[in-house]
Structure 1
Amino acid sequence: MFVISKWPRDVLLGWLDEVFAIGQVDVAVHVRPVPDRLVVKSLTDRVVSARSQLIIEVKKGSVVRLSELEAVIRDLEGLQEAIQTNRDRMLHVTVVITVWGRDEEDLDNRSKELENILARKAAEVRPLVFRQLEGFKNTLPVMTYSLSSPGAVRNLTLGGAMACLPVTASELSHPSGAFLGFTSTGAPVFFDPFVGPPWLPNPHVAAFGYTGSGKSVTLKLLIGRLSLAGVRFVVFDPEGEYRRPCRELWGGEVITLEAGVPAGVNPLDLLPEKDPDTGREVVNVADKVADVRALVATIARGFGGRELTPQEVSLLEAAVRELYSERGVTSDPESLYERGRALPDGSFAVGRVLKRMPRLSDLAAKLERWPETKDLRLILDPFLEGSSLGMFDCETDKELDAPVVVFDLSRIKDEFTKLYAMFVVLTWCWHRFALRHAGKKMVVLDEAWMFAKWPDSAKFLETLARRGRKHRTGLVVASQHIEEFLAREEGRAVISSCATRIILGQNPTVAREVAEAFRLPAGAEERLAGYANGLCLLVAGNQMAEVQVECLPYERQFVFTGGAESAQL
């Protein structure tokens, strides 16, 4: 039986959580309120004493203790004001720790480990010599306190007392899913984004961490392990990090996108989708019109530096609807098919085949008819066939049949071009992958901060997150620039729609903002800023735990891209 006798100057969130990692440890935290009148009187006396000492030091001409005394006075006066205005309380806190062991040697080893852990935190424990029984009674869950030991009681504010309580679960695991790692107590963590209520209300995941924190490695491990459980993936890879594991580990397909080279993806492609309520197939022309409008608006803002005018929006929607109407496309799925047609390679398809869908060049030709869309037509010109950004002005010739499909955008160097490519392919995948394939599916957007920079693309992400749950599709949003999401309402809406958050190490400059955005307890920013590579705070629904992501030996050669992180996980 031990009692904490020396406390650190700053008590941070979950500072006792590491104690549980020793194993066979019970911690009892006794919290008793102190009457406010006694606290205010004591603080007033201490402020007067400190001010008197400060005056004495000034008169003596000594400057050694001036800064120390001024800091003490500021702290005392701030606490006094908080208590007098009912914004804080003063509490008496005692922490009693029971360590169990199989034999005397095991008990001695665990006790030494406890002392070492607290010593690293500038704290000390004192064994209750000749008072073991009394200490044991105070760790039993009977809501009593009878331990009166000198130095065992510490005055703490509400925040300090809360920091002594365990804020992370010692265990966080779903009944199914993929192995992710271990909690601070050594308990294994199995994660299933599709486990459903009461664990998770939706399958969406947000993962944030600075460069080298292990974010991409964590995503690769989840993709590989969940794909073995039957989850299909489409991954957007801006840096080419997923090529090797996709081909050599996951048995997937890599589709490389390159500026000026036809990508085999038509953003105006239209396919029937299943209504989640009725189960009937329908052609949702209205949704496709909205997708095209959002795409053109993003192009106008990012490439032309301006917003679409109301006239341009109206005429743009009219042009898109007219393109589908000319081909006889309606809400009936049969309207998408025809009996035989010539193919681009000169051959001829017979039987029931999809009609040729309109392309961006067809849309540009429609817009030429109206003087009001002359400027918009010029903005679209570089995105047509034969131009540097014309890789999507083509007919579709790609399929998404592999268990994992990676779109490699590493050959596209320009930031806006990369955003444009991701936007087009994401829209295309949503209709051909999320809305058509049955079963569990996930769309992974690495470096999604590019979407958050533009209101229309961020709004598009929010829409996908809102609709994905009905179609058993999870959206994984990963970024090293979380500030891009927090700076916009649309970005914050995307984060709030994700039931699972994987928060890895954060830069100290944004750690406080991250803690506030995710409503983490006070003091969390210090822990986030000090996380080692692969250590994360996993928030899954109403559960939260610190998890060390674990890479298995056979995965290591495929998931690491080099650098310090390979030595840590």
Structure 2
Amino acid sequence: MRLPALRRTAPPPIIGGSATAAPEPKPPLPLPLCFLLSHLEDEAVVRLDGTKVGVSEVQGLELDEPKLGAFAGFLNALDFPVQLLVRQHPPDLGRMREALREDEPESLPERTKAAADSLHGLLEGLERREGILDRRFYAVSELEHAEELQSLLVRAGLSVHPLKGRVLRRLLLAAALGGTPAERDEAAGVEVEVNRRDLRLGDHLVRALHLGRWPRSLAPGFLQGLMTAGVPMDLSLHLGAIPAEQAARTLEWQKVRFESAQSLSMSRGRTLSSEAEIALEDVTRLRDEVQRGRERLFHASLSVTLHAPDEATLDDLTQRASAHFAATLGKLDGLAFRQREGLLSTLPLALNAVAAWRTLDTSSIARLYPFSPPDLDTRSGTLAGIDLRACAPVVYDPFDGTHLNANTAVLARSGSGKSFSTKLGVLRGITRGIVAYVIDPEGEYASMARAAGGRVLSPGVAGQGLNPFIIERRDAEELLQRIGSLRRLIEVMVGESLGAERRAALDHVLAAYYGEPREGAGFGAFYRFLQESDEDLAKLLRPFATGSLRHLLSDEGDDLLASEALVTVFDLHLLEPELRPAATMVCTETVWAAAARDPRPRLLVVDEVWSIMQHPEGAAFMVSMAKRARKHRLGLQFITQDVQDLLSEDSSRTITGHSGRALLQNAAFKLLLQQDAAAISTVGDAFDLPPDLQRWLLSCQRGDGLLLARGNRFPIRIEATPEEHALVEFSPGQQR
């Protein structure tokens, strides 16, 4: 695989205060030779010395004590050299913008099209915004140890993906020339100027630094502060395990040396210096830990390569990086006249060209933990917000199949912006072809839906009834689940528990009704069948057949698939509050029927889900829906401001059992916006939030929140363009 050529330049020498004639330029040095590369294979980078190197990308994780312990176990199991590499650079969102344009439906309404175009502008702005970075973690070793390294990382709880082919090539070129991995012109030359304290690669500057003096002690997550400082850089940690026998002998020799010095001092009537006493204690403790197998010793080396467009910015970044280590009495060396070696040490070559090492124990290295903070940026889907801690875009696609499901829970206090964030998510979803349905008990989403080219239905109004009683798929599993859903729906419609005997009778009637194929089955036909089978049950459903609610359920019903809009809002604000849970279940069951007939990415938003969850049958219905939604590529998003009630475990006050928590457990994504002080302890216990995050959720500004996904916590800020604001913003009188 061919790489670009290198043109190496240097300023003319100055002698006696005047410039001499420039010497004859040397031929361009091949880029592979400059970076000690021989060639690339499909699964490996081959160095000039013939060593094959394997590279794997590692998914970052949030730092906590269990993960530190698991990482320490990984270190103790290492018996070969390894390089842990962190790369963070301004993001390249070009491919994501192209994917969004490809997924964009044709003939979008004008205002919706303008909102979609404005999102592309926002993404372009993020690429240039200072401090916004794309962070990636890598593990590098010789190819013969690559599989073992991957296995050890997996055992430590990390997700690992080996890099091959073009992906590996893009990473290597990006690490050598700077920036995020992307396709580059192989025929283009690269001008490199090697200076005393930096290098110029093309149109930007690079400065390599090395940690010459390590801090006396390392706090957990020591590197996390540096990586969240918004500095474009490559950080490389080289590790080489020292055999336990050699480590024990070395520590025993050091212990004897310190004890001899102590004895000599005491014989002369002197005391050992405090530094020597501390060193003796450390050596004694470490020797005992090594002999017991709890600790190991490693040769460690840490190098940093900074990237900047100009010298002033590079000096500023250097000062910020140096200040981080100086705060703990560490020191970064500038590597004068050794910039190339420093750059080579941060390439994914498993090569420490600086050749400077420091001996560290397992616990100290574990505290470095180079796989945090994580970022949620899958480069597919759409923008969800900005990670305030990692300074990175939050991009994901709930429907890409890599998550447990596409369900999202939104929990927030009144006035925290949950309706706005939901509308924005719906808007960005429909601009990439995801059909949305919104069950709106207060009429908040109607204006947005109409402006975005959607439609608004008012169940209960003549001509806008729904028909959830159609079951077209007749496989046994689907039929059993739908009958159970309809039984729970009818029980909520009745408004009271039917009791065991009536519930069994209703189940028998439903099974008998759907046991035979029927054309155009609807509530009217079912009601007539029920009158013939069980008059007592039929009387309970009379308001929905001939009373004031007769327009809620219709034999004809609106075929959602026949005229499926970009977004459909079921506006329930005309119904009495006690009837809304039943209407919500009718709408949900109708959408489920449509999803079963034509599985494709769809989003179903249920606002104020607590109104359903306070009914035992409604709670069971929603939990069942959350579990089954993934089967037909349906994403369920439920919203509530009754957080404490939803999470309560007191069955005397709330729903039977723990259905609220069961509903949350079936949501792969959870968005916690600003919380009420009365509910924060319940929220903290339910989601295992540390005290600092609990305090932040009490005081964070409107539009900020905590996204829980993939086992990590992401403090995010939801950003919208002016065009998106104009489309989704509601009037102050409607804010909640």
Q: Indicate whether the TM-score tops 0.5.
A: yes
What is aligned with 1:255?
A: 457
Aligned partners of 1:528, 1:167: CA distance in 2, in Å?
25
Indicate which of 500, 514, 531 corresponds to 1:365. Answer: 531
What is aligned with 1:465?
A: 626
What is aligned with 1:291?
A: 485
| Counterpart secondary structure, 2:404 | coil
Aligned partners of 1:316, 1:256: CA distance in 2, in Å?
28
What is aligned with 1:187?
A: 392
What is aligned with 2:502?
A: 312
Q: For residue 379 of structure 2, what is the amino acid of its counterpart?
A: P
What is aligned with 1:177?
A: 381
Distance 1:170 1:317, change over 3 A: closer
Aligned partners of 1:176, 1:465: CA distance in 2, in Å?
23
Instruction: Establish whether residue 230 from structure 1 lines up as the match of residue 433 from structure 2.
Output: yes
Aligned partners of 2:538, 2:733: CA distance in 1, in Å?
48
Residue correspondence of structure 1 range 138-153 to structure 2 within 5 A: none
1:398 positional shift: 0.6
Q: For residue 587 of structure 2, what is the amino acid of its counterpart?
A: V
Distance 1:101 1:427, change over 3 A: closer
Q: For residue 187 of structure 1, what is the amino acid of its counterpart?
A: A
What is aligned with 2:470?
A: 270
Listed as ranges, the gaps of 5+ residues in structure 1 are: 6-10, 29-95, 119-123, 147-160, 276-281, 338-353
Aligned partners of 2:330, 2:567: CA distance in 1, in Å?
66
Q: CA RMSD in A?
A: 4.6
Q: For residue 23 of structure 1, what is the amino acid of its counterpart?
A: V
CA contact (8 A) 2:606 2:637 kept: yes
1:472 positional shift: 1.5
Instruction: Establish whether residue 560 from structure 1 lines up as the match of residue 729 from structure 2.
Output: yes
Q: Deviations over 1:318-344 (max 9, x none)?
A: 33344x36xxx63xxxx334xxxxxxx
| Counterpart secondary structure, 1:236 | strand
Indicate which of 661, 676, 695 corresponds to 1:507. Answer: 676
Identity %: 24
Q: For residue 538 of structure 1, what is the amino acid of its counterpart?
A: L
Distance 1:544 1:18, change over 3 A: farther
Q: For residue 439 of structure 1, what is the amino acid of its counterpart?
A: R
Indicate which of 228, 231, 253 corresponds to 1:23. Answer: 231
Residue correspondence of structure 1 range 142-541 to structure 2 within 5 A: 169-184=373-388, 185-197=390-402, 200-249=403-452, 251-258=453-460, 261=462, 263-267=464-468, 269-273=469-473, 284-300=478-494, 303-304=495-496, 307-322=497-512, 324=513, 330=516, 335-337=517-519, 354=520, 358-359=524-525, 361-362=527-528, 365-366=531-532, 369=535, 373=536, 377-387=538-548, 389-400=549-560, 401-412=563-574, 414-431=576-593, 433-487=594-648, 488-541=657-710
CA contact (8 A) 1:207 1:215 kept: yes
CA contact (8 A) 1:252 1:405 kept: yes
Q: For residue 186 of structure 1, what is the amino acid of its counterpart?
A: C
Q: For residue 362 of structure 1, what is the amino acid of its counterpart?
A: R
Aligned partners of 2:227, 2:732: CA distance in 1, in Å?
31
CA contact (8 A) 2:377 2:396 kept: yes
Indicate which of 713, 725, 730 corresponds to 1:544. Answer: 713
Aligned partners of 1:128, 1:24: CA distance in 2, in Å?
22
Aligned partners of 2:424, 2:407: CA distance in 1, in Å?
17
| Counterpart secondary structure, 1:196 | coil
The higher relative CO (CA closer than 8 Å, separation ≥ 6) is in: 1
Aligned partners of 1:436, 1:320: CA distance in 2, in Å?
20
Aligned partners of 2:673, 2:467: CA distance in 1, in Å?
36
Distance 1:132 1:186, change over 3 A: closer
Distance 1:192 1:247, change over 3 A: same
1:529 positional shift: 1.6
Aligned partners of 1:232, 1:414: CA distance in 2, in Å?
28
Aligned partners of 2:614, 2:330: CA distance in 1, in Å?
64
CA contact (8 A) 2:466 2:552 kept: yes
Listed as ranges, the gaps of 5+ residues in structure 2 are: 1-210, 237-301, 335-341, 347-351, 361-365, 649-656
1:471 positional shift: 1.6
CA contact (8 A) 2:446 2:571 kept: no
1:312 positional shift: 0.8
| Counterpart secondary structure, 2:597 | coil
Q: For residue 621 of structure 2, what is the amino acid of its counterpart?
A: F
Q: For residue 365 of structure 1, what is the amino acid of its counterpart?
A: Q
Distance 1:440 1:547, change over 3 A: same
Distance 1:255 1:435, change over 3 A: same
Aligned partners of 1:183, 1:284: CA distance in 2, in Å?
40
1:531 positional shift: 1.9
| Counterpart secondary structure, 1:476 | strand
CA contact (8 A) 2:521 2:555 kept: no
1:495 positional shift: 0.7
Distance 1:3 1:299, change over 3 A: farther
1:266 positional shift: 2.8
Q: For residue 566 of structure 2, what is the amino acid of its counterpart?
A: V
What is aligned with 1:49?
A: none
Q: For residue 406 of structure 1, what is the amino acid of its counterpart?
A: T
CA contact (8 A) 1:252 1:402 kept: no
**Structure number with bigger Rg:** 2
Aligned partners of 2:576, 2:359: CA distance in 1, in Å?
65
CA contact (8 A) 2:380 2:397 kept: yes
Q: Deviations over 1:532-553 (max 9, x none)?
A: 1111222222343222111122
Q: Deviations over 1:387-415 (max 9, x none)?
A: 2x333243233122334342333433532
1:238 positional shift: 1.6
Q: For residue 419 of structure 1, what is the amino acid of its counterpart?
A: P
Aligned partners of 2:640, 2:577: CA distance in 1, in Å?
15
Aligned partners of 1:130, 1:521: CA distance in 2, in Å?
29
Aligned partners of 1:104, 1:478: CA distance in 2, in Å?
50
Q: TM-score, normalised by structure 1?
A: 0.63
1:379 positional shift: 4.0
1:386 positional shift: 2.9
| Counterpart secondary structure, 1:435 | helix
> How many positions carry a matched residue from both structures?
430
Aligned partners of 1:128, 1:101: CA distance in 2, in Å?
24
Q: Deviations over 1:26-80 (max 9, x none)?
A: 999xxxxxxxxxxxxxxxxxxxxxxxxxxxxxxxxxxxxxxxxxxxxxxxxxxxx
Q: For residue 294 of structure 1, what is the amino acid of its counterpart?
A: R
Distance 1:129 1:230, change over 3 A: closer
Aligned partners of 1:485, 1:298: CA distance in 2, in Å?
18
1:457 positional shift: 1.1
CA contact (8 A) 2:706 2:716 kept: yes
Q: For residue 391 of structure 1, what is the amino acid of its counterpart?
A: H
1:284 positional shift: 5.0
